[in-house]
């Protein structure tokens, strides 16, 4: 309890506003109530839907196994909130502690949590983006539209960008028996997230599944017919492909524009916050009453040289939301840091891919179990002599062990013995990440900000 009782008052009768009614926003609201917050809670979301889950949108929904409007997130508990859905927050007045809404209303807060996430980066040419048949995939409405179009049996689908979302869409299309061309600017699918060595495995998987995969290629233009329907895509090698559907999978843009003149440290890379989820203002001073969580947040992590990490990971959104909510109603000494070890999964081409740590930070990689050729393996990533990440293809059971190695800053190459070690796993090789200054579909973890030290650290997880 604070000395003057203000924290008690906040917990009892304060007003907390959450902007962004999705995974992070919902989990934060539930945590606030779990932890005894009995004041007023307002949740603002620009989508008209109740919070829903996005990972199924590029998987089960496109396969027709789950309707797009059936991915509503399960509720852990009643949150007793005022929901303002279908209305965007348009501005923030930090001095007046007020959020302005698109319908002209304003909501005052004692504490604010921002969970506005990211949106799909659109095709850069507006007229081409408007052609009938050109899609992005971020929302359930996007998924419903794309599923509907795929069900009509287009002659060929073009996926632009072979990151996780693009690769999952290509996989779903092949599973549905549709012809697919994937155009990827980098040297292989998933290269921005997992590097070139693993990217080559992903490329083989795609080609074996019948994908017309074209790497080192950019789509230079989309062409429609006289009725405005997509008909053809032009590629940077001078060729063209006849397509009826194109899905633009060029990464994401952080939803921060509404904060432009607020004085908050928000920009294209997200909203910078401290390890306790408190947002920084533009002067680099941490705020007392504005918190941030989920895909829109950018926070320093002790395991990764205190670099600011932007993560587009489901698990991070949940964990950071829970930490932010706890800290919003706790005294400074009871607050806890957000030190979640990044982890991510994907299902594509019959493969269960999992990642832990931050692969794009690595310079080397070694296959510690299984074999790349068999596409069943564990690859460990090293950075300056320590284990920084691990990726499994159909070997998820080992991931927890590797997570411990990362958290212990274990030496790289690994010194432990493993089962099923092959000759190819005896020596590390370059991990093959593209130059980060080259635009690509983007990794799922973005490293940015000051790295005060590359020295070896020891890290003790909270649960230890
Ligand atoms: C197709 C797809 C597949 C995925 N698959 C995986 C996977 O396999 N594994 C994995 O780990 N992760 C996956 N993810 C990522 C995961 O879904 C995200 O990390 C997670 O949704 C982040 O939650 P969030 O609440 O931070 O942000 P979001 O889910 O992006 O929600 C932000 C919400 O805020 C709203 N908003 C934005 N601006 C405003 C405003 N000004 N006012 C009000 N509301 C606003 C947005 O419309 C949105 O509803 C996938 C994502 C997609 C799109």
Same structural domain for residues 126 and 225? yes
Confidence tier at 452 by pLDDT (50, 70, 90): very low
End-to-end alpha carbon distance in the chain: 27
Same structural domain for residues 104 and 160? no
Q: Which of 252, 284, 317 is the last residue of a domain?
A: 252
- pLDDT, one tens digit per residue, over 225-252 is 999 999 999 999 999 999 999 999 999 9
- This prediction has a pTM of 0.93
Query: Is position 462 within any domain?
Result: no
Q: What is the pLDDT of residue 393?
A: 96
Same structural domain for residues 291 and 177? no
Site to substitute for ligand 1 among 17, 19, 20, most atoms within 8 A of C-beta:
20
Using the mean position of ligand 1's atoms as its centre, give its distance from the Cα of residue 295 in Å. 7
Query: Is position 223 within any domain?
Result: yes
Report the distance separating Cα 182 and Cα 235, nearest Å. Answer: 11
Q: Report the chain's mean pLDDT, rounded to a whole number.
A: 92
Report the distance separating Cα 114 and Cα 19, nearest Å. Answer: 5
276: pLDDT strictly greater than 80: yes
Site to substitute for ligand 1 among 117, 254, 273, most atoms within 8 A of C-beta:
117
Atom of ligand 1 nearest to the CA of 58: 1
Report the distance separating Cα 377 and Cα 420, nearest Å. Answer: 9
Query: Is position 441 within any domain?
Result: no
Provide mean pLDDT across the span 169-183: 98
Same structural domain for residues 193 and 148? yes
Same structural domain for residues 176 and 268? no
* Structural domain for 313, as ranges: 3-58+76-117+255-329
Atom of ligand 1 nearest to the CA of 101: 42
Query: Is position 319 within any domain?
Result: yes
Largest separation between any pair of C-alpha atoms in the chain: 71
Using the mean position of ligand 1's atoms as its centre, give its distance from the Cα of residue 316 in Å. 11
Which of 25-39, 194-208, 384-398, 414-428 shows the lowest mean pLDDT across its residues? 414-428
Atom of ligand 1 nearest to the CA of 297: 26
H-only helix segments in 176-307? 191-208
Same structural domain for residues 166 and 221? yes
- pLDDT, one tens digit per residue, over 337-390 is 998 899 999 999 999 999 999 998 899 999 999 999 999 999 999 999 999 999
Same structural domain for residues 247 and 260? no
Using the mean position of ligand 1's atoms as its centre, give its distance from the Cα of residue 227 in Å. 33
Question: Do residues 431 and 197 lie in contact, with contact meaning Cβ atoms separated by under 8 Å?
Answer: yes
Same structural domain for residues 244 and 392? no
Using the mean position of ligand 1's atoms as its centre, give its distance from the Cα of residue 338 in Å. 19
451: pLDDT strictly greater than 70: no
Provide mean pLDDT across the span 88-105: 98
CA of residue 156 relative to chain centroid, distance = 28
Using the mean position of ligand 1's atoms as its centre, give its distance from the Cα of residue 293 in Å. 11
4: pLDDT strictly greater than 50: yes
Q: Which of 252, 271, 287 is the last residue of a domain?
A: 252
Site to substitute for ligand 1 among 46, 53, 90, 291, most atoms within 8 A of C-beta:
46
Query: Is position 448 within any domain?
Result: no
CATH at residue 242: 3.50.50.60
Same structural domain for residues 90 and 18? yes
Provide mean pLDDT across the span 184-201: 95
Site to substitute for ligand 1 among 18, 45, 102, most atoms within 8 A of C-beta:
45
Same structural domain for residues 320 and 404? no
Atom of ligand 1 nearest to the CA of 44: 43
412: pLDDT strictly greater than 90: yes
Q: What is the pLDDT of residue 438?
A: 61
Q: What is the pLDDT of residue 414?
A: 86
Residue with the nearest Cα to atom 38 of ligand 1?
A: 116
Report the distance separating Cα 446 and Cα 117, nearest Å. Answer: 14
Residue with the nearest Cα to atom 28 of ligand 1?
A: 117
Query: Is position 446 within any domain?
Result: no
Same structural domain for residues 133 and 245? yes
What is the count of structural domains for the chain? 3
Provide mean pLDDT across the span 42-69: 97
CATH at residue 364: 3.30.390.30
247 Cβ contact partners less than 8 Å away, ≥ 6 residues apart: 135, 136, 137, 146, 157, 158, 159, 160, 166, 169
Confidence tier at 440 by pLDDT (50, 70, 90): low
Site to substitute for ligand 1 among 55, 146, 273, most atoms within 8 A of C-beta:
55
Ligand 1 binding pocket, CB closer than 6 Å: 19-25, 44-47, 54-55, 57-58, 88-89, 115-118, 137-138, 165, 255, 258, 294-295, 312-315, 317, 344-346
Side-chain half-sphere CA neighbours of 283 within 13 A: 3
Using the mean position of ligand 1's atoms as its centre, give its distance from the Cα of residue 369 in Å. 33
Provide mean pLDDT across the span 76-80: 97
Task: Name the DSSP letter for residue 334.
Answer: G
Confidence tier at 450 by pLDDT (50, 70, 90): very low
Residue with the nearest Cα to atom 30 of ligand 1?
A: 117
Provide mean pLDDT across the span 389-401: 93
Confidence tier at 458 by pLDDT (50, 70, 90): very low
Query: Is position 454 within any domain?
Result: no
Provide mean pLDDT across the span 409-425: 81
For the chain, how are helix, strand and coil distributed in percent, rounded to 5?
Answer: 25, 30, 45
Query: Is position 337 within any domain?
Result: no
Same structural domain for residues 130 and 241? yes
Using the mean position of ligand 1's atoms as its centre, give its distance from the Cα of residue 241 in Å. 31
46: pLDDT strictly greater than 90: yes
Place of tokens 């921002």: 114
Q: What is the pLDDT of residue 447?
A: 54
22: pLDDT strictly greater than 90: yes
Tokens of 2: 């604070």
Q: Which of 190, 223, 252 is the last residue of a domain?
A: 252
């Amino acid at each position: 309890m604070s000395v003057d009782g203000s924290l008690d008052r906040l917990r009892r009768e304060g007003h907390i506003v959450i902007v962004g009614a999705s995974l992070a926003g919902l989990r934060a609201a539930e945590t606030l109530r779990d932890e005894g917050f009995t004041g007023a809670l307002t949740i603002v979301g620009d989508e008209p839907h109740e919070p829903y889950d996005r990972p199924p949108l590029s998987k089960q929904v496109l396969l027709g196994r789950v309707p797009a409007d059936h991915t509503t997130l399960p509720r852990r508990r009643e949150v007793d909130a005022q929901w303002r859905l279908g209305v965007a927050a348009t501005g923030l007045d930090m001095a007046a502690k007020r959020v302005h809404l698109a319908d002209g209303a304003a909501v005052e807060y004692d504490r604010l949590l921002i969970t506005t996430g990211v949106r799909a980066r659109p095709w850069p040419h507006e007229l081409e983006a408007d052609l009938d048949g050109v899609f992005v995939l971020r929302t359930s409405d996007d998924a419903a539209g794309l599923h509907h179009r795929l069900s009509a049996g287009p002659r060929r689908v073009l996926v632009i960008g072979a990151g996780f979302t693009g690769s999952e869409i290509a996989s779903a299309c092949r599973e549905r028996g549709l012809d697919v061309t994937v155009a990827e600017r980098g040297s292989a699918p998933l290269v921005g997230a997992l590097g070139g060595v693993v990217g080559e495995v992903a490329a083989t998987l795609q080609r074996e599944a019948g994908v017309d995969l074209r790497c080192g290629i950019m789509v230079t233009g989309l062409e429609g017919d006289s009725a405005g329907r997509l008909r053809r895509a032009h590629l940077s090698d001078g060729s063209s492909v006849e397509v009826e559907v194109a899905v633009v999978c060029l990464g994401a843009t952080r939803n921060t524009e509404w904060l432009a003149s607020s004085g908050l440290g928000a920009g294209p890379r997200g909203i910078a916050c401290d390890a306790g989820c408190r947002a920084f203002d533009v002067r680099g001073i941490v705020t007392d009453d504005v918190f941030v969580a989920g895909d829109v947040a950018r926070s320093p992590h002790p395991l990764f040289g205190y670099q600011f990490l932007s993560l587009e990971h489901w698990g991070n959104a949940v964990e950071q939301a829970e930490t932010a909510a706890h800290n919003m109603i706790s005294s400074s000494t009871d607050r806890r840091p957000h030190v979640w070890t990044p982890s991510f999964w994907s299902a594509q081409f019959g493969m269960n891919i999992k990642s832990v740590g931050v692969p794009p930070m690595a310079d080397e990689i070694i296959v510690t179990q299984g074999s790349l050729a068999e596409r069943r393996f564990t690859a460990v990533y090293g950075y300056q002599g320590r284990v920084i990440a691990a990726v499994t293809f159909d070997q998820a059971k080992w991931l927890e062990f590797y997570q411990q190695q990362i958290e212990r800053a274990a030496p790289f190459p690994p010194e432990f013995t493993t089962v099923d070690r092959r000759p190819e796993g005896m020596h590390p090789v370059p991990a093959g990440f593209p130059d980060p200054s080259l635009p690509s579909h983007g990794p799922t973890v973005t490293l940015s900000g000051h790295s005060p030290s590359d020295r070896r650290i020891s890290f003790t997880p909270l649960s230890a």
